[in-house]
A and B are shown apart, each in its own frame.
Chain A
């Protein structure tokens, strides 16, 4: 019975090819420095999962955001753990992605044939920062409110287009319910979608070219 199901699936998916292309690949000797990328991927998945749970109780409006976060911390079973992981995961993800980028730079892994992987990686770095920036406002506390105020203000100092950027980010001249709503939307839909797409391309390129080896004196 199980064997028949396996065979039926194998006929349609091709486990052998999958195994050969994804898992049973040769790699150069790797070290702990090579785990930073997969660790960032793990954090992305973890942030996604904890984030989905948080949206069950979170309400993106100035009247209720603070109280709903308070309720997650005090009223929901293990809410403190889910939010704690999400909060610290965000910090750790920024650090890991940054160190991962430095590792790639110092070992010159961005060179031929991996230039495109680097470009996608920069996109991943910026979207990760974007996730941090938009997520920071959501608890609607003093720290969040004023951090976003200065953050958008800095973006607003650009010549000519500054005012437009400022208004587009805030949804008006001041931080308001609109700002919270669009940051929420960006945080849970727009940026994660972009992030997931970029991760897909990044992974495809890594599997295609394999991990780069650490440079030796010949390189």
Chain B
């Protein structure tokens, strides 16, 4: 009793209570180091007392459990409804440009491996970090009840284990947060990588060594843990602030059938129209360098669509037909298209040309809204979809096109070897308008030679498309629908107030 009184006096003057309780334990003939039968008896007695002033499982404990579960259920429904699951393209084993990342809860380990790999000498021994460190950590975690064998449960008597775990958890959370930050910046600077290594390896390691050195001094252990955690958080904050803005690579993923048909149509227009024509009907290639006069099977025919399965068609697109002049398009074979993109092209071909498939009505909307009498088309609404469908396949970088590119509004107006005469506002003799109306431009120095052939080389454009281009250039190539309003000669119905 006397000892207890003395103890309380000491407690009130000390910030840490550890020593006091060790002293009190001694009076109970209890060293507090290792569990014995006496300890077990005391533990069970204490637990009985807690039960007496406790609660009933039903209805007290379970009530709170049920509320928690209900809350989680609600949260999940909200997440599923309002956040959803981001659409991802189909797995593509050939796409070596894809940056692989593990599941989010393994990101800290992934980051740790990256940082470890930067260390000199031991950084080269990969399995130390991939196998040994995680195994030891997991082993310690599993065996905690047999490593920490003291019967004491209060926080003040477990400063060492709590410190070790806290630094570990802080490290795991911070490494997860920093997982996106590269270890070597684009300009070759390793500053961010070094700072991350300090957070992920050096501070925790130093803190662990210090903790074991200060094993018997609660206050120093708490200071070590606090300082380590604060400095880790502070440096991570710096790293995250300095980190280059993450480039969000937008991958368009078509999820609905209609979206897939449209995506396929766009891809087909860019990659296939050049040789196969916009409707797949071309039997003899014209106007393509190196393949002039090559005879091919029209790919919109039943012969092709009924006899070649989706996966075979995919292989043809991916590998090409080198002997027949068709280059490979799949990334596996050095082309540009991913697995998902080739899938969309196949979907497009099936639904548009194969008479066994029924096209959804929404996929059949016209290429551009029909023009009324006197209406002026704009680039955004009318010309862009036309160019995308019929022109861009050849008029993009890397193709034989007299350097005339058509991927943007500015390019259409300003690029090309004959830019000066190509598109002239209000001039019917613009080269552009002549060639799309089947009048080749002859070389003024050598009237025998075609300067520009008819466009498109294989088949003339439909009259309504030619008409749209004609009206657009004659009215000064307006860019937006708003600009065309003033140019339009359609009489706007005037509202005359009736008397």
To the question of whether A and B form a pair in one complex, the answer is yes
Give the interface of A toward B (CB within 8 A): 22-30, 32, 34-36, 38-39, 42-43, 46, 62-63, 66, 70, 73-74, 80-81, 83-85, 87-89, 91-92, 94, 96, 102, 105-108, 110-113, 115, 118-119, 122, 126, 129, 132-133, 136, 139-147, 149-151, 154-155, 157-159, 162, 174-175, 210-213, 215-219
**Which of B141-149, B264-272, B352-360, B412-420 contacts its partner?**
B141-149
B69–A122 contact, CB under 8 A?
Answer: no
A83–B92 contact, CB under 8 A?
Answer: no
- Complex Cα distance, B68 from A46, in Å, reads 14
Contact (A159, B77) CB under 8 Å given A28-B51, A132-B103, A215-B155: no
A108–B153 contact, CB under 8 A?
Answer: yes
Interface centre among A102, A136, A145, A211 (most CB of B within 10 A): A145
B76–A85 contact, CB under 8 A?
Answer: yes
- Complex Cα distance, B153 from A84, in Å, reads 41
B80–A142 contact, CB under 8 A?
Answer: no
Shortest distance in angstroms between B85's beta carbon and chain A's nearest beta carbon?
5
What residue in chain B is nearest A110 (Cβ atoms)? B145
Can you identify 18 A-B contacts, CB atoms within 8 angstroms?
A: A23-B57, A27-B54, A38-B68, A70-B255, A73-B85, A74-B255, A83-B80, A84-B80, A92-B76, A108-B152, A112-B151, A126-B138, A142-B90, A147-B100, A150-B101, A158-B130, A162-B127, A211-B61
What B residues does A149 contact at CB under 8 A? Answer: 100
Shortest distance in angstroms between A74's beta carbon and chain B's nearest beta carbon?
6
B102–A147 contact, CB under 8 A?
Answer: yes
B145–A46 contact, CB under 8 A?
Answer: no
- Complex Cα distance, B21 from A219, in Å, reads 10
What residue in chain B is nearest A45 (Cβ atoms)? B69
What B residues does A30 contact at CB under 8 A? Answer: 54-55, 60-61, 64
Given A23-B57, A35-B64, A174-B93, 11 more A-B residue pairs with CB atoms under 8 Å apart are A26-B52, A27-B57, A30-B54, A42-B68, A92-B72, A113-B43, A141-B88, A146-B100, A147-B103, A150-B102, A215-B154
Say whether B104 faces chain A, with CB atoms less than 8 Å apart.
yes
Contact (A118, B80) CB under 8 Å given A32-B64, A35-B68, A39-B68: no
B65–A39 contact, CB under 8 A?
Answer: yes
B68–A84 contact, CB under 8 A?
Answer: no
What residue in chain B is nearest A165 (Cβ atoms)? B131
- Complex Cα distance, B144 from A119, in Å, reads 9
A39–B93 contact, CB under 8 A?
Answer: no
Classify chain B's interface size.
35 or more
A157–B51 contact, CB under 8 A?
Answer: no
What residue in chain B is nearest A148 (Cβ atoms)? B102
A38–B153 contact, CB under 8 A?
Answer: no
B100–A80 contact, CB under 8 A?
Answer: no
Residues of B92-138 whose CB lies within 8 A of A? 92-93, 95, 98-106, 109-110, 113, 126-127, 130-131, 138
Contact (A111, B145) CB under 8 Å given A27-B55, A28-B47, A30-B61: yes
What residue in chain A is nearest B52 (Cβ atoms)? A26
Shortest distance in angstroms between A148's beta carbon and chain B's nearest beta carbon?
8
- Complex Cα distance, B149 from A108, in Å, reads 11
- Complex Cα distance, B165 from A107, in Å, reads 12
Shortest distance in angstroms between A55's beta carbon and chain B's nearest beta carbon?
18
What residue in chain B is nearest A78 (Cβ atoms)? B80
B165–A105 contact, CB under 8 A?
Answer: yes
A87–B56 contact, CB under 8 A?
Answer: no
B146–A115 contact, CB under 8 A?
Answer: yes
What A residues does B69 contact at CB under 8 A? Answer: 38-39, 42
**How many inter-chain residue pairs (CB < 8 Å) link A and B?**
220
Contact (A122, B90) CB under 8 Å given A84-B79, A132-B103, A219-B154: no
What A residues does B161 contact at CB under 8 A? Answer: 105
Say whether B399 faces chain A, with CB atoms less than 8 Å apart.
no
Contact (A111, B151) CB under 8 Å given A142-B95, A210-B47: yes
Contact (A219, B46) CB under 8 Å given A84-B79, A110-B145: yes
What B residues does A129 contact at CB under 8 A? Answer: 105
A80–B103 contact, CB under 8 A?
Answer: no
What B residues does A34 contact at CB under 8 A? Answer: 61, 64
Shortest distance in angstroms between A62's beta carbon and chain B's nearest beta carbon?
7
Pick the contact of B88: A26, A32, A143, A218 (CB < 8 A).
A143
Contact (A112, B142) CB under 8 Å given A63-B311, A150-B101, A219-B154: no
- Complex Cα distance, B39 from A91, in Å, reads 40
What A residues does B57 contact at CB under 8 A? Answer: 22-27
Say whether B290 faces chain A, with CB atoms less than 8 Å apart.
no
- Complex Cα distance, B145 from A122, in Å, reads 12
Say whether B75 faces chain A, with CB atoms less than 8 Å apart.
yes
Shortest distance in angstroms between B462's beta carbon and chain A's nearest beta carbon?
33
A27–B60 contact, CB under 8 A?
Answer: yes
Shortest distance in angstroms between A143's beta carbon and chain B's nearest beta carbon?
5
Interface centre among A27, A34, A39 (most CB of B within 10 A): A27
